[in-house]
Amino acid sequence: MKRLLPFLLLALGLALPFILTAMGQEYYISFASRVLVVALAASALNLILGYGGLVSFGHAAYFGAGAYTAALLAGKGAGLPAQLLVGTGVAALLAFVFGWAALRTRGVYFIMITLALAQMLYYLAVSSDSLGGEDGLRISRAALWGDLTLGDDRAMYYTALTALTLGLFVIWRVVHSRFGEVVQAARDNETRTAALGYPVRRYQLVNFVIGGALAGLAGVLMTQISGFTNPSLLSWQQSGQFMMMVILGGVGTFWAGLLGTAVLLGLEEYLGEVTERWPLFVGLILLGVMLFAPKGLGSLGTLFGRKKKEVVE
Amino acid sequence: MAGIQSQSALVAENLCKNFGALAATQNVNLRVEGKGVHALIGPNGAGKTTLVNLLSGALPPSSGRVLLSGQDVSRVDMPGRVARGLSRTYQITSIYPEWTVWRNLALSVQGRSGTSMRFWQPVTGERALYRQAAEIAEEVGLTSRLNAPASDLSHGERKQLDVALALASNPKFLLMDEPMAGLGHEESVRMVDLIRRIAGIRAVLLIEHDMDAVFSLANEVSVLVYGQIIASGTPEAIKNDPEVQRAYLGDDHAA
Ligand SMILES: Nc1ncnc2c1ncn2[C@@H]1O[C@H](COP(=O)(O)OP(=O)(O)OP(=O)(O)O)[C@@H](O)[C@H]1O
Ligand SMILES: [Mg+2]
């Protein structure tokens, strides 16, 4: 079952637009794209926070950096490949600089510095005319081939699905590699990991950059989904939301980003239609999850799985 | 001959460490070299662990130097010193409790077998890592526990794992901070045996309170009291040193 899960999910992902169309709910295809792209950014944070144990409270910076880079490039007429490449690269570079600075500290200082650096970027975006200030930047959707652009819901959806699939594959390989082993070791016991001969900070920085780069990739696609970018993508609320998604999904479990994003955005979407007080209910549900499944929703699955196994044995 | 020896020695030169007003290490000169056990004894709070922290690079000294195979490593961090052949164990065992014993050891073997900046190949595919990890488990007597999560280990087994982790880098110098603390009689016997084997091919600085173990293992003993080395010599000489008896052994025997 565990081995099949990725393929089942991919099959579901591939079929979803058809299912939604058949149900007459085509409106949700665009919503689903958003879930996939935000899930990529959240999964990237899970690499840093869940596997690396670094509480980065400025994840929106890399997401937003990708988004703004893409928007600026789009304004200059650059195509999608250039936007993806440069957007990801800029986010990686930014993560390198911010990570380098933040990793001189630990614990609560690390949280504060990642937050402060991200806020700097936020204020830069708000106050800069060339970045569109409060309004942000509008773009026209990138062309894929022929007349097809990312303005087409299905094209956008499958592009997002491709990005998330590749991103999760990269994360999977990284987490299970030699490198990933050291990163997780540093999370569990930093001192011992250094005493085993691993220059811990270097590993953490590289991991931080990988996470930042993937968030940048997600940011590029986010601009394409919404057709614009604005400072809210860089805000601390956005960073907090990423963190909430990872925690909700189960910090350091592989599907945390996707699960947390699907549930949180799903709740917002659903409750938003039902009541104006939706944030209150989202908060209550989060509270409930934290109280009854403190290891996240993903842990409910393993709990269930383990019980089943015990019965079999 | 003297030149060759200093080439492969761990040396503390006038090491000092202050924690605020507390001088935890005062002008310590120490030399660990060749093969065998150099024991470091001293009452609780004497500064033994602090000295290990200074030697291993976990703490920067307030003044003085640490030399490793003739090089000044005072400003070299812990991983850098491991790369130069120095490794340590922990008084309070320091392991990865959530991981299996096997994975604990594979991680430590990984550190000495090529770069770990490899991002793509699954580590579990590297048979050699796990084979060597199993060999180390065999060496310390943990073979039957390879697949157990480290958190399931008994206190004694954790001590063994702690030592095994330090051994995996195949160090020339091994600092062992009370590897026998809290062990039962049988476990102690096994640990003494293990330390003897370890010290057969490398230099061990052993911190230990059990005097029988110390005197049966060590070929040199240094006594640390209030951060200062008050005596250093052969086990026989130390046993008979009146100052040592007054400051330390006397207390210990009275207790
Ligand atoms: N990081 C630190 N900050 C402040 N004081 C410290 C620190 N580490 C140790 N000390 C103090 O330095 C002194 C020496 O401590 P240390 O742990 O080195 O002693 P020890 O000889 O290892 O004792 P034990 O036999 O109990 O393990 C003690 O008074 C201790 O409280
Ligand atoms: Mg101690």
Q: What is the mean pLDDT of residues A286-299?
A: 83
Confidence bin at A301 (pLDDT 50/70/90): low
Model confidence at B217, pLDDT cuts 50, 70, 90, reads very high
Cβ of B79 and A191 within 8 Å? no
**Residue A191 pLDDT grade (very low, low, confident, very high; cuts 50, 70, 90):** very high
pLDDT at residue A131, as a whole number: 94
User: Is residue A1 predicted with pLDDT exceeding 80?
Assistant: no
Question: Which of B53, B76, B116 would best serve as a mutation to test chain A binding (most A beta carbons within 10 A)?
Answer: B116
Contact of A191 with A205, CB cutoff 8 Å:
no
Torsion region of B34: left, alpha or beta (phi above 0 gives left; psi -120 to 50 gives alpha):
left
Question: Residue A233: its pLDDT value, please?
Answer: 96
Instruction: Please indicate whether, in this complex, the C-beta atoms of A196 and B117 are within 8 angstroms of each other.
Output: no
* A–B interface: beta-carbon pairs under 8 A: 91
Residue B206, helix vs strand vs coil? strand
Average pLDDT, chain A: 92
pLDDT at B77 over 50: yes
Torsion sign (Cα): A73, A77, A79, A80:
positive
> What homologous superfamily is domain B9-85+171-253 in, according to CATH?
P-loop containing nucleotide triphosphate hydrolases (3.40.50.300)
> Residue B255's pLDDT band (boundaries 50, 70, 90)?
very low
The closest alpha carbon to A258, from A10, A4, A1, A2, belongs to A10
> Lowest-confidence range among A230-234, A304-308, B88-92, B173-177?
A304-308
pLDDT tens for each residue of A230-263 = 999 999 999 999 999 999 999 999 999 999 999 9
Nearest CA to ligand 1 atom 9: B50
Interface of B with A in 103-162 (CB under 8 A): 103, 106-108, 110-112, 115-124, 126
Q: Does A178 touch chain B (CB under 8 A)?
A: yes
Q: Is A266 helix (H, G, I), strand (E, B) or coil?
A: helix
Q: Where are the domains of chain B?
A: 9-85+171-253, 97-157
Residue A311 reports pLDDT greater than 50: no
The pLDDT, as a whole number, for residue A312 is 39
State whether the beta carbon of B18 lies less than 6 angstroms from ligand 1: no
Q: Strand (E) positions, chain B?
A: 9-19, 22-33, 36-41, 63-68, 71-72, 86-88, 173-177, 203-207, 218-225, 228-233
Q: Quick one: pLDDT at residue B248?
A: 67
**Residue type at position A280:** L
Q: What would the pLDDT profile of B21-53 be if each residue is shown by its tens digit?
A: 999 999 999 999 889 999 999 999 999 999 999
Q: Smallest Cα–Cα separation from B224: which of B30, B61, B22? A: B30
Separation of alpha carbons B41 and A141, rounded Å: 73
Total residue count of chain A as it appears in this document: 313
* In the predicted structure, residue B2 carries a pLDDT above the cut 60: no
Which of A151-160, A171-180, A266-275 has the least mean pLDDT?
A266-275
Say if CB A178 and CB B129 are below 8 A apart.
no
B21 in contact with ligand 1, CB cutoff 6 A = no
Q: For a pocket test of ligand 1, which of B49, B176, B208 has the largest count of ligand atoms closer than 8 A to its C-beta?
A: B49
Ligand 1 midpoint to CA B22 (Å): 10
Lowest mean pLDDT among A102-116, A135-149, B115-129: A135-149
Q: Is the CB of B24 under 6 A from ligand 1?
A: yes
Provide the pLDDT for residue A308: 43
* Shortest distance, CA A239 to any CA of chain B (angstroms): 26
The model's pLDDT over A77-121, given as tens digits with 9 standing for 90+, comes to 999 999 999 999 999 999 999 999 999 999 999 999 999 999 999
User: Sign of dihedral through CA atoms B214, B216, B221, B223?
Assistant: positive
Give pLDDT, residue B250.
55
Where does the pLDDT of residue B56 fall: very low under 50, low under 70, confident under 90, or very high at 90 and above?
Answer: very high
- State in Å: Cα B138 to ligand 2 middle: 28
> Chain B residues with CB inside 8 Å of A195's CB?
56, 58, 78, 82, 87-88, 90, 94, 166
* Confidence grade of residue A56 (pLDDT, cut at 50, 70, 90): very high
Nearest protein Cα to ligand 1, atom 31: B45
Backbone angles phi, psi at A306, to 5 degrees: -65, -45
Using the predicted structure, report yes or no on whether residue B253 has a pLDDT greater than 70. Answer: no
For the cut 90, the answer to whether the pLDDT of residue B5 exceeds it is no
